[in-house]
């Protein structure tokens, strides 16, 4: 047994037509799908275009902010370079102008002037001091050991390394016309050293070479240097006031000064994320390196008309995903509707066939009787029995369709009353026996005397007729269909066993759906309306019960219907009334 009801149109080609025409053979069924796919494509193009527009806007905004940062970096580089030049000139001017020789000063005195505040120099009003702990004097072409030191001189090994590094820098990097320079010696050699080259006095007509030049230099204090860079940031406005709205530089931009070896010399806002940074090179005279300036994100909105573009990619992805999901749901709904349309067509064809066969039989035997072709009373009775059987079959089919048409409306307005399920089943079996063709099958009742339950008798009778019809239709010729009944404290149960092919486990739920049948019977010649088992489950559910299928001991299928049992007191009352009726009618 494997039919959803008593036969399904899918077995007669409906399923094959569905596979062959995914959206139906007519263009009218494919047009909505094409329009949905087109709308989804348009939505996708719109999302892509919106993403590109957003990306272009963001790129333009970032470029503009980087331009602002580049302008600020250039302005800052000019101002910091000016202050740095003043700071170096303040210390190295007297050595560079050879005044120590004109004044007859000794080397140590000159170094003290380089390291300390020159006595002849008026108080500077511009750059702060950046001098560290020591100053030194050396010749470019002589051994570093001959260097002179003032202040807190480093240890001999470090001192020799510092002088050698400055000598190398003077020979390779010191530019013509430079008044001074800064050499980045790195952490190993001592950091930054500022120095100037002084030509030795001319004592004859020959010109001294650079290797004979004198080096006067001093250590650059990193903290004092950072203070100079901080002063450069606070001194002058780096961006036009129309953009900054008279806000200080520190509230608008972040500046970072990086040495040539990547070490950070100054950072105005270490916590700031430099999203729109620009760079400009620091002069080689000041040791090289890079100045980075960035517009702070907190004020970037104020510098851009309309503000920074918001990130809309997640929203665009979400909108497109929702549009895609809706399109998929719409396509699935169209597929379902198309499938239901095919099932309805097969249902109409199946019902038409079901109606045509008994109607043809009734018409044939009626015509036989009307024309007087029955010669004996026995033949006349035989014709009338056939007419009666086919009429009952028509009536059963109509009742089945009516029950199905009312499905999905709860209990269909049925009024349940206390009754005997066993008597109702026996009546249905007696009525159905007249519909079984001779030799097709026989019925065997294994019902107890009483099965009290609250039921709607006509609906339960229809359930039994559908189960019996399903068993006869799919079982072999000559089989015995057994109807059993059981009673427990909470439920009553009836089962119908056949000797057919059975139902595969994978199909035991789907066969109760309208118009569907199991895989084991697809391709068979058995036809039916396809709604029998769907009507069974609907009626049983309306009674608060359950219906299912399992394997029968005989190898076929066993369809089981379980209903709630009557309360004990009501069941005993029903048993008493039934016994009284039987006693009055003389039935044992």
Write the DSSP string, 533-576.
Answer: HHHHHHHHHHTT-EEEEEE-TTSSEEEEEEEEBPPHHHHHHHHH
The token duo for 349 is: 């064809």
Q: What is the pLDDT of residue 492?
A: 93
The pLDDT tens digits for 462-519 are: 889 889 988 888 889 899 999 999 998 889 999 999 998 888 888 888 888 876 655 4
Q: What is the pLDDT of residue 52?
A: 80
Say yes or no: domain 406-585 is CATH 3.40.30.10. Answer: no
pLDDT-flagged residues of the chain (< 50): 1-25, 99, 101-104, 118-126, 202-209, 409-411, 519, 522-526, 569, 587-588
At 555, which helix (H) or strand (E)? none
The pLDDT tens digits for 274-308 are: 667 888 888 888 888 899 988 887 777 777 766 66
CA 465/CA 461 separation, integer angstroms: 6
The token duo for 561 is: 């219907």
CA 518/CA 511 separation, integer angstroms: 6
Q: What is the pLDDT of residue 410?
A: 45
Q: What is the pLDDT of residue 3?
A: 43
Task: State the alpha helices, DSSP H only, in 193-306.
Answer: 222-235, 241-244, 297-303
Backbone conformation region of residue 557, classed left if phi is above 0, alpha if psi is from -120 to 50, else beta = beta
The token duo for 179 is: 């008044």
CA 356/CA 376 separation, integer angstroms: 28
CB crowding 68-93: b at 16 or more within 10 Å, else e: bbbbbbebbbebbbebbbebbbbbbb
CA 498/CA 444 separation, integer angstroms: 11
> Vertex 238, ends 232 and 243: CA angle to 5°?
150
Of the candidates 276, 101, 124, the residue with the CA atom closest to the CA atom of residue 202:
101
Q: Where are the domains of the chain?
A: 22-310, 406-585
Q: What is the pLDDT of residue 584?
A: 54
């Amino acid at each position: 047994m494997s039919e959803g009801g008593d036969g399904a149109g899918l077995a007669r080609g409906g399923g094959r037509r569905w596979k062959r025409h995914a959206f139906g053979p007519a263009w009218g069924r494919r047009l909505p799908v094409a329009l949905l796919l087109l709308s989804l494509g348009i939505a996708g193009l719109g999302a892509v275009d919106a993403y590109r527009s957003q990306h272009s806007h963001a790129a333009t905004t970032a470029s503009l902010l980087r331009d602002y940062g580049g302008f600020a970096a250039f302005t800052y580089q000019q101002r910091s370079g000016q202050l740095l030049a003043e700071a170096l000139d303040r210390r190295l001017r007297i050595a560079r102008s050879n005044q120590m020789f004109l004044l007859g000063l000794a080397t140590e005195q000159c170094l003290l002037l380089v390291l300390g505040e020159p006595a002849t120099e008026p108080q500077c009003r511009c750059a702060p001091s950046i001098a560290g702990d020591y100053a030194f004097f050396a010749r470019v072409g002589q051994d570093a050991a001959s260097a002179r030191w003032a202040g807190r001189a480093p240890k001999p090994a470090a001192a020799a390394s510092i002088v050698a590094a400055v000598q190398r820098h003077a020979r390779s990097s010191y530019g013509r016309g430079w008044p001074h320079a800064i050499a980045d010696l790195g952490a190993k050699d001592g950091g930054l050293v500022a120095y100037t080259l002084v030509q030795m006095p001319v004592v004859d007509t020959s010109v001294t070479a650079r290797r004979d030049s004198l080096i006067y230099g001093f250590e650059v204090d990193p903290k004092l240097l950072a203070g100079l860079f901080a002063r450069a940031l606070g001194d002058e406005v780096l961006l036009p006031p129309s953009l900054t709205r008279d806000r200080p530089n520190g509230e608008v931009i972040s500046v970072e000064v990086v040495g040539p070896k990547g070490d950070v010399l100054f950072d105005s806002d270490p916590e700031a994320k430099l999203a729109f940074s620009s760079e400009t090179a620091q002069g080689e005279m000041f040791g090289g390196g890079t100045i980075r300036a960035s517009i702070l994100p907190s004020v970037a909105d104020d510098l851009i008309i309309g503000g920074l573009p918001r990130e809309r990619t997640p929203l665009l992805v979400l909108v497109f995903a929702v549009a895609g999901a809706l399109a998929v749901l719409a396509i699935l709904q169209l597929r379902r509707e198309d499938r239901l349309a095919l099932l309805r067509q097969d249902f109409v064809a199946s019902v038409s066939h079901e109606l045509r066969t008994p109607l043809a039989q009734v018409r044939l035997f009626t015509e036989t009787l009307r024309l007087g072709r029955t010669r004996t009373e026995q033949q006349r009775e035989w014709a009338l029995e056939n007419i009666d059987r086919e009429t009952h079959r028509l009536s059963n089919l109509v009742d089945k369709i009516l029950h199905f048409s009312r499905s999905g409306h709860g209990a269909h307005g049925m009024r349940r009353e206390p009754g005997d399920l066993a008597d109702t089943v026996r009546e249905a079996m007696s009525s159905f026996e007249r519909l079984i063709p001779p030799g097709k099958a026989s019925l065997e009742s294994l019902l107890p005397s009483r099965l009290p339950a609250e039921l709607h008798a006509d609906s339960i009778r229809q359930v039994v007729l559908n189960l019996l019809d399903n068993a006869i239709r799919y079982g072999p010729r000559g089989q015995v269909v057994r109807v059993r009944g059981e009673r427990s404290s909470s439920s009553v149960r009836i089962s119908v066993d056949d000797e057919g092919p059975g139902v595969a486990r994978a199909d035991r739920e789907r066969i109760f759906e309208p118009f569907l049948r199991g895989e084991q019977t697809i391709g068979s010649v058995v036809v039916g309306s396809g709604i029998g088992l769907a009507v069974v489950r609907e009626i049983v559910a309306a009674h608060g019960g359950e219906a299912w299928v399992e394997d029968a001991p005989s190898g076929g299928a066993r369809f089981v219907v379980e209903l709630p049992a009557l309360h004990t007191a009501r069941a005993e009352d029903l048993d008493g009334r039934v016994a009284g009726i039987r006693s009055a009618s003389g039935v044992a």
